[in-house]
A and B are shown apart, each in its own frame.
Chain A
């Protein structure tokens, strides 16, 4: 159980880093398109700073959403033949998609995480959620094999 909690926290942390990176990189991509003299060092430095600054905001959001949606995935995988990897991946993807559309819904249209403003941004959020869920589901599958 403790290992499972550790894996859950680890995956939440990875997903948070990916969401933060997506937000920062989307800003840099626009700057590059606008012919600003962006360098790789700049991107890496700011990415590191942003992870440190944004983690306190992003991690709790991802934690709560993953917790709720992974619990749903647990129920789905128990009572359907969907399989853990698929169930958790779909739930993770749906959770992150809902973050991308839910924040503006509850904040009068304002995108708190600006990386989610575009369609590509919403797709990226969803894919990150899918990945997080898939990794967690795969871990559960593995640990089931180990114990059986």
Chain B
């Protein structure tokens, strides 16, 4: 009888501990902070209570004090809203509080041939809710025939240089292996569009010199590790083969020489999954999850999550948490009931924001319970 009571006591304690642990790691609220957005793509906080949200349709919406304003940002450059193209990423200059400079990526139509488009990055001054001194600092070369696989994610490194993901244009995947174009590349430039002297391909034309890494497909997530020492990149694979990579200058990430996926039609793109001289992902997904955005959690509201990587995905629509340890990468799905997710971002108050996809989209806040 005594043994039975002891057993029961430990059973209750163990069960309580389990519940407590689950509460610690999963205890969060999901609330809507804005709705009615039209194909939102990215967002950025310009102050603690002001958010700019890009919509692929070409507008930049403003959320102020938790309310989506009818007013939109003025003087936003024209972009091509077609296929996967449109107004895409928005980031602040590292010295934004001093210079009020922001950076935008978008797809743009060829001036004389409407069948062609490319990825463009501009910088501009933010004056109130209007852009001034809009200046083009990067244009992917050459133009592409399909408005697809633009990449378009932006990230400032700790040295002040800007990384730009430029996708393979879908129809030009083989060119991801050539260094004479911007298909399937990560580009590194200075904040004025000039090319840093320490880029890996210093001896080449201007296109080659701007290349930081190559052999990518459609890279839509970029984030720095918590200590800013590593750059993580996530990219869409074809049917299967989405990849999480650690970026190192001059590395070749293999697409389409090696891949864990097959073509949408079912065709073999390459029978090779690894090859000497070509980088392996630190994680890959088969079947695809369609990773659309990524951030490193930097807040204090979820101490257990600090430094973890969060990935938004579009198939079937999930928020995933990745934790790195000596044993490898642990992964858990935190949210899977909000539909296709377009992005995930830190908020200055330590919460996480996630953006849903397509029309009538929402921005959700993830906060502790």
Q: Does B266 contact A (CB under 8 A)?
A: yes
Interface flags, A102-134, vs B, CB<8A=1, else 0: 001000111111110100000000000000000
Q: Does A143 contact B (CB under 8 A)?
A: no
The 6 A-B residue pairs with the shortest CB-CB distance in the complex, in nearest-first order: A109-B146, A53-B266, A54-B266, A46-B268, A108-B83, A23-B267
Q: Is the CB–CB distance between A34 and B177 below 8 Å? A: yes
Q: Does B315 contact A (CB under 8 A)?
A: no
Q: Is the CB–CB distance between A23 and B115 below 8 Å? A: no
A53 cross-chain contacts in B, Cβ below 8 A: 262, 266-267
Query: Can you list 20 A-B pairs, Cβ within 8 angstroms, ordered by A?
Result: A23-B267, A27-B263, A36-B270, A50-B267, A50-B268, A53-B262, A57-B265, A104-B145, A104-B146, A104-B171, A108-B83, A108-B147, A108-B148, A109-B170, A109-B171, A110-B171, A112-B264, A113-B267, A114-B171, A114-B267
Q: Is the CB–CB distance between B145 and A109 below 8 Å? A: yes
Within 8 A of A (CB), among B64-112: 82-83
| Number of cross-chain contacts by CB at 8 Å | 75
Interface flags, B28-68, vs A, CB<8A=1, else 0: 00000000000000000000000000000000000000000
Q: Is the CB–CB distance between B148 and A31 below 8 Å? A: no
Q: Does B275 contact A (CB under 8 A)?
A: yes
Within 8 A of A (CB), among B234-288: 257, 262-272, 275
CA of A117 to CA of B268, assembled, Å: 16
Q: Which residues of B contact A (CB under 8 A)?
A: 82-83, 115, 145-148, 170-171, 174, 177, 257, 262-272, 275
A28 cross-chain contacts in B, Cβ below 8 A: 268
Q: How far is the CB of B90 from chain A (nearest CB, A)?
A: 25
| Total contacting residues, chain A, CB less than 8 A | 29
Q: How far is the CB of B26 from chain A (nearest CB, A)?
A: 39
CA of A48 to CA of B105, assembled, Å: 43
- State which of A42, A57, A113 has its C-beta within 8 Å of the C-beta of B271: A42
Interface flags, A10-44, vs B, CB<8A=1, else 0: 00000000001001100110110010101000100
Given contacts A23-B263, A109-B115, A109-B147, 6 further A-B pairs with CB under 8 A are A36-B257, A36-B275, A46-B271, A108-B82, A110-B83, A111-B171
Q: Does A49 contact B (CB under 8 A)?
A: yes
Q: Is the CB–CB distance between A109 and B148 below 8 Å? A: yes
B177 cross-chain contacts in A, Cβ below 8 A: 34
CA of A34 to CA of B269, assembled, Å: 13
Q: How far is the CB of A132 from chain B (nearest CB, A)?
A: 19
A115 cross-chain contacts in B, Cβ below 8 A: 267
Q: Is the CB–CB distance between B265 and A112 below 8 Å? A: yes
